[in-house]
Amino acid sequence: MTAPASAAGEHYVIATDTTFAPFEFQDAQGNLVGIDMDLMREIAKDQGFTVDIKPLGFDAALQAVQANQAAGVIAGMSITDERRKVFDFSDPYFESGVQMAVLKTNDDIKSYADLRGKRVAVKNGTEGAQFAASIKDKYGFDIVSFADSSSMFDEVRTGNSVAVFEDYPVLNYGIQQGNGFKTVTPKESGSSYGFAVNKGQNAEFLAKFNAGLKNLKSSGRYDQIIETYLGKGATENDNSFLGLLKSTFPILMAGLKMTIILTVVSIAIALVLGIIFGLLRVSRSIWLRAIGTTFVDIFRGTPLLVQAFFIYFGIPAALGFQMTAMTAGIITLSLNAGAYMTEIVRGGIQSVDKGQMEAARSLGIGYLPTMRKVILPQAIRTMIPSYINQFVITLKDTSILSVIGIAELTQTGRLIIARNFQSFNMWLIIGIIYFIVIMALTKLSDRLEKRLVK
């Protein structure tokens, strides 16, 4: 069906979850697919607009819409009265429900009554979490919450919890993939899923979605999409260690590339910041020292996760502009690593004998030239090991940026696990990749340090 002329050419940023198969997940080629993804793309095609879909994680996706970093969110999101206070919803596009599942090997848990005194795992913000909370007092069990589905399932695999409450299509898809679970309760009636936009905004976009959804249902395309992901043919193939390594290697290398880019760019900026604020920290001026100290205290005294959320969601929302996840990630890592580099630079400068400064000043050399030509060259030698160590720390810290949708190595692993539920083998592969990269950096540091000492 041809879209209205006014709709043609519009472009929207869409936020979504990262690990909610079969609604959104990455396929073996690294493409973001699923019921939600196919529906959104087909509706966009039907209505004549284009979309840029950002996988952020469920909680971050909601924040992105509220901060106007995205025009809307589609993430298997249940339509509730509470959420209607914050978002405007489309017509329902999927009727959901909740089921409880346990490991296939568990023959003790057969009903809600068997949960008394035990723990169950749920995913934040889901219908399963709400249902579990509504019956936990009646049946006497405790709830532990996770940010993604794969972590929730792993919680039960470890034996720390005995069951999960999850939307039935997610459970069915995972069971088809061989995740080792089974359902033990009938499906509870649940809410409907809907596409959402910020309250009072993007009404035209919402109307396009509803019109496109209606067209897909009448044409039969909607049923084809559902069958693709919930039919019996939706299964994975070789999930062995070598099979996974072979099939996921290109995607993992793309994630590693992003990790290295983030690390190199951020640590280079952090070094500049470290030198600037490090010099302020050893300045003779109390005001300059105060500026350097404040910078260090702020970014060493707050968690990196909080900094990432504040820079990506908080600042744009407060100042009314948009910022890419990549930009926010680099700023976050640079400022955080810069605070630690400041202390490295300060320690390196103070490790140089004070007589060096006094000798240079007695020869009539100014303070700044002395720092640049006499003190810093000597300080750098003592700073190299700490600098490489900070490089390694920053490389590992890139994994935190998955919360704002950057597909670095760790996030890439999560996306793969969301598709195949092979958490042990995938985390082993990712751990080996990190180990190889970090060991290479360590050896480089040792060689560089030995060369400078000569």
pLDDT in tens, 232-264: 655 555 566 776 777 778 888 888 888 999 999
- pLDDT for the residue numbered 8: 52
**Alpha-carbon gap, residue 287 to 293, rounded angstroms:** 10
pLDDT in tens, 369-386: 777 677 777 777 777 778
Evaluate if residue 214 carries a pLDDT over 90. yes
Q: How far is CA 171 from CA 109, 184, 454, in A?
A: 17, 11, 62
Claim to verify: residue 76 and residue 103 sit in the same structural domain: no
Q: What is the mean pLDDT of residues 199-218?
A: 92
Domain CATH number, residue 281: 1.10.3720.10
Q: Do 167 and 23 touch, CB atoms closer than 8 A? A: no
Is residue 354 in a domain?
yes
Claim to verify: residue 361 and residue 287 sit in the same structural domain: yes
Looking at the chain, how many residues does it have? 454
pLDDT in tens, 53-65: 888 878 888 988 9
Q: In terms of Cα–Cα distance, which of 17, 123, 148 is closest to 74?
A: 17
Claim to verify: residue 349 and residue 428 sit in the same structural domain: yes
Of 175 and 276, more confident: 276
Query: What's the domain range around 199?
Result: 11-93+194-230
Q: What angle do CA 394, 398, 401 make, to 5 degrees?
A: 140
Is residue 5 in a domain?
no
C-alpha radius of gyration, the chain, whole number: 26
**Alpha-carbon gap, residue 144 to 122, rounded angstroms:** 6
Picking from 122, 157, 189, the residue at the C-terminal end of a domain is 189
| Partners of 119 in beta bridges | 142
- pLDDT for the residue numbered 26: 77
Q: What is the mean pLDDT of residues 73-83?
A: 88
Q: List all residues 6 or more positions away from 105 whose beta carbon is below 8 Å from its beta carbon.
A: 180
Q: What is the mean pLDDT of residues 118-140?
A: 87
- pLDDT for the residue numbered 7: 44
Claim to verify: residue 371 and residue 269 sit in the same structural domain: yes
Q: In terms of Cα–Cα distance, which of 54, 123, 76, 67 is closest to 404?
A: 54
Confidence of residue 359 (pLDDT cuts 50, 70, 90): confident
Three-class secondary structure of residue 70 per DSSP: coil
Claim to verify: residue 269 and residue 174 sit in the same structural domain: no
Q: What is the mean pLDDT of residues 209-233?
A: 87
CA atoms within 13 A on the CB side of 42: 22
- pLDDT for the residue numbered 239: 62
Evaluate if residue 5 carries a pLDDT over 60. no
The structure tokens listed for 222 are 């909607």
pLDDT in tens, 421-437: 677 788 888 889 989 98
Evaluate if residue 326 carries a pLDDT over 60. yes
Residue 95's Cβ-count burial label (10 Å; 0-12, 13-18, 19+) is exposed
**Alpha-carbon gap, residue 350 to 370, rounded angstroms:** 14
Claim to verify: residue 440 and residue 330 sit in the same structural domain: yes
**Alpha-carbon gap, residue 357 to 81, rounded angstroms:** 69
Claim to verify: residue 18 and residue 37 sit in the same structural domain: yes
Claim to verify: residue 39 and residue 125 sit in the same structural domain: no
Is residue 391 in a domain?
yes
DSSP letters spanning 95-156: EEEEEEEEETT--S--SGGGGTT-EEEEETTSHHHHHHHHHHHHHT-EEEEESSHHHHHHHH
Cα dihedral: 233, 234, 236, 237 (round 10) = 10
Picking from 230, 258, 279, the residue at the C-terminal end of a domain is 230
Q: In terms of Cα–Cα distance, which of 371, 351, 345 is closest to 360?
A: 371
Q: Do 93 and 39 touch, CB atoms closer than 8 A? A: yes
pTM of the model: 0.62
- pLDDT for the residue numbered 233: 54
Q: What angle do CA 438, 261, 41 make, to 5 degrees?
A: 120
Percent of the chain whose pLDDT exceeds 70: 91
**Chain center to CA of 76:** 17
Scan for tokens 């702020």, then name that residue.
Answer: 298
- Please give the mean pLDDT across all residues of the chain: 83
Phi–psi pair at 190, nearest 5 degrees? -135, -170
pLDDT in tens, 87-108: 999 999 998 888 899 999 998 8
Claim to verify: residue 359 and residue 212 sit in the same structural domain: no
Q: How far is CA 109 from CA 100, 152, 163, 167, 367, in A?
A: 10, 17, 8, 19, 74
Lowest-confidence region among 72-76, 149-153, 308-312: 149-153
Is residue 396 in a domain?
yes
Scan for tokens 């795992």, then name that residue.
Answer: 121
In the chain, how many domains are there? 3
Is residue 2 in a domain?
no
Three-class secondary structure of residue 383 per DSSP: helix
Claim to verify: residue 164 and residue 303 sit in the same structural domain: no
Is residue 4 in a domain?
no
Domain CATH number, residue 201: 3.40.190.10
Is residue 1 in a domain?
no
Evaluate if residue 209 carries a pLDDT over 70. yes
- pLDDT for the residue numbered 3: 42
pLDDT in tens, 298-307: 998 899 889 9
Confidence of residue 339 (pLDDT cuts 50, 70, 90): very high
Confidence of residue 163 (pLDDT cuts 50, 70, 90): very high
Of 357 and 4, more confident: 357
Is residue 208 in a domain?
yes
Claim to verify: residue 261 and residue 155 sit in the same structural domain: no
Q: What is the mean pLDDT of residues 406-416?
A: 79
- pLDDT for the residue numbered 166: 86
Claim to verify: residue 159 and residue 201 sit in the same structural domain: no
